[in-house]
A and B are shown apart, each in its own frame.
Chain A
């Protein structure tokens, strides 16, 4: 059978994430260190795991309501108000999803008509473009710049807006750059969007991981609440990636439609995870602080270390990534990552994996032990020293 003819053209045109082969190499290597995987190295705090186990003991193994346990949605509403001053009605404005990723997918599919454009600042997490395409829309990739610390500026945004623009994805705090948007940055973006029908899909999955500042949601800027869909979840804040727990909040009319997609595609998020999430919301604030403090120490160490060995990087104030500039090495990001892995057995991710604008940069994730970070820095220093020697020799010949 000729499957290529049978299968959806649209799906076949979507490029798979190209990093997989790196990890296959890595798995075979001894003494390899990975600064590649973008998830917390912490295990979910015990009291949260225990709540999941207890729900199983109690035999809570059935579906929940489509939007998620009312108890959980109430807790999410109270959490969002407590931590980010966001007010959402648990009954009509919150849907519990299978991770933040499902939330992004739902939001895009809920908004996009064929041919609609979705503005996506890049470098950013890999899913927005493909999900837009699969929803029938056209991704418009907008390159943010190192000199702006990879923030989205109103000038850049204005240039990208056309009559077909349906939505703006706002992925801050940002993976892979660690960039954040502060209130004044968001106000400038709001100024561009006021009076338009452009919706914002604000992916705030790293909202708890900001350093030396507090996260502001664009939904908190005047006139933006009604044009914003907020995506958040438990993966990064409570080290719960494997539980697949996220949520979407937004205007009632949108959530009503969005719930249909979730209802027919998913039914309801896993029940055991929802019970664990209730505990995370009720008694997890201290875990968040503890993990953030730990990440913050590693962040400072990694940034200082990279600068010391000669790789400039701006100070990332969010998420758990540093995005150093490797242009001084004369290597492309892909070559840098491949050679670094082969010569020194350390995996970092090429900036190009996160869209155009990532060339010349690499992503280093510090959600790993201090020991590994220290060793990775030593090896990177070696790598750079050897590289410079080779380059000097080549230039001498």
Chain B
């Protein structure tokens, strides 16, 4: 069954007929499995991966290392919740090692991101320090490469 999830993770635009053939299932089985995955939140959603640099829109992404004091009983989860509720937060991970959270923020401008850190994130109760790293260039995300690849220069040969 993980085969179906793997196929969807790679390309969620495949039709159910395609998925069925590729996962060696019937179309009905695929329909049912996907419905179940969606209900059970195994599949959280479907999104496109956009290279905003090819558009007019500005896009700034920052990776913020956050140190916090974990709270009694709730540990990190309570403070994590207070961070991820902000729309600006694209991703939030609890880390092992020198700091506690990685927060990924995206915004339209540098100022927008900076003000989020200084006005929202840093003052949060329990947050002891932040270190903001701006992403200069994206090369690859979710196995997809941002740089335009030259079209496949396949020679038409007879084999």
Contact = CB atoms under 8 A, between A and B. Distances in A.
B156 A26 contact: yes
Interface in B1-41: 7, 11, 14-15, 17-18, 21-24
Given A297-B7, A297-B23, A300-B24, A370 B18 contact: yes
Name which of B22, B23, B152, B154 has the most chain A CB atoms within 10 A of its CB: B22
Nearest to A294: B22
Nearest to A293: B3
A225 interface: no
A19 B158 CA distance: 7
Contacts of B22: 296-298, 300-301, 370
A310 interface: no
Contact of A370 (B14, B24, B152, B154): B14
A36 B23 contact: no
A241 B155 CA distance: 12
B136 to A, nearest CB: 23
B49 interface: no
Nearest to B152: A41
B119 to A, nearest CB: 43
A23 B156 contact: yes
A126 B152 CA distance: 25
Contacts of B156: 23-24, 26-27, 34, 36-37
B13 to A, nearest CB: 9
Contacts of B152: 41
A147 to B, nearest CB: 25
Contacts of A296: 22
B7 A126 contact: no
A20 B157 CA distance: 7
Contacts of A349: 158
Contact of B159 (A20, A37, A41): A37
Main secondary structure of the interface of A (DSSP, over half): helix
A284 interface: no
A203 to B, nearest CB: 13
A381 interface: no
Given A297-B7, A297-B23, A300-B24, A38 B18 contact: no
A39 B103 CA distance: 44
Contacts of A39: 157, 159
A38 B21 contact: no
Contacts of B17: 301, 304
Nearest to A347: B156
Contact of A23 (B11, B24, B158): B158
Contact of A301 (B18, B157, B158, B159): B18
A342 interface: no
A297 B100 CA distance: 41
A56 B24 CA distance: 43
A226 to B, nearest CB: 31
B77 to A, nearest CB: 37
Contacts of A24: 156
Interface in B134-159: 152, 154, 156-159
B158 A20 contact: yes
Given A24-B156, A300-B21, A305-B21, 14 more contacts: A17-B158, A19-B158, A23-B158, A34-B156, A37-B156, A37-B157, A41-B154, A241-B159, A297-B21, A298-B22, A301-B18, A301-B21, A370-B22, A374-B15
10 contacts: A37-B159, A39-B157, A39-B159, A126-B158, A298-B22, A300-B21, A301-B17, A305-B21, A353-B158, A374-B15
Closest 4 CB pairs of A and B: A297-B22, A23-B156, A301-B21, A300-B21
